[in-house]
């Protein structure tokens, strides 16, 4: 499968530049409708917290190493 619209991915560059270590790994589980975002690989969380927006923030010590977005598909602007 070819990726036709590289511009979509290029819009991620500012977020990647602001992230810890200037690296982001993304994966999406369609069955669970969950987006996994990691700033470190491998990442081993020592703690996590669930926000009011159904986002699980994962920590290694005091450092955020990633987050999990629950119900990710429902957050997408369908007209985009």
Domain ranges of the chain: 20-75
Model pLDDT, residue 76: 78
The sheet carrying 55-60 orders its strands as 25-29, 34-38, 63-70, 55-60, 47-50
Q: Residue 70 CB: number of other CB atoms within 10 A?
A: 16
Query: Which pLDDT score is estimated for 8?
Result: 84
Peptide bond into 42 cis (omega under 30): yes
Q: What is the pLDDT along the chain (80 residues), one digit of tens a residue?
A: 566 678 888 999 999 999 988 999 999 999 999 999 999 999 899 999 999 999 999 999 999 999 999 999 998 765 44
pLDDT at residue number 4:
67
């Amino acid at each position: 499968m070819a990726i036709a619209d590289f511009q979509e991915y290029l819009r991620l560059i500012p977020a990647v530049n602001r992230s810890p270590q200037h690296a982001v790994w993304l994966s999406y589980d369609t069955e669970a409708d969950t987006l996994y975002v990691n700033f470190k690989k491998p990442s081993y969380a020592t703690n996590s917290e669930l926000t009011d927006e159904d986002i699980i923030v994962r920590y290694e010590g005091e450092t955020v190493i990633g987050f999990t977005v629950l119900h990710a598909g429902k957050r997408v602007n369908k007209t985009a």
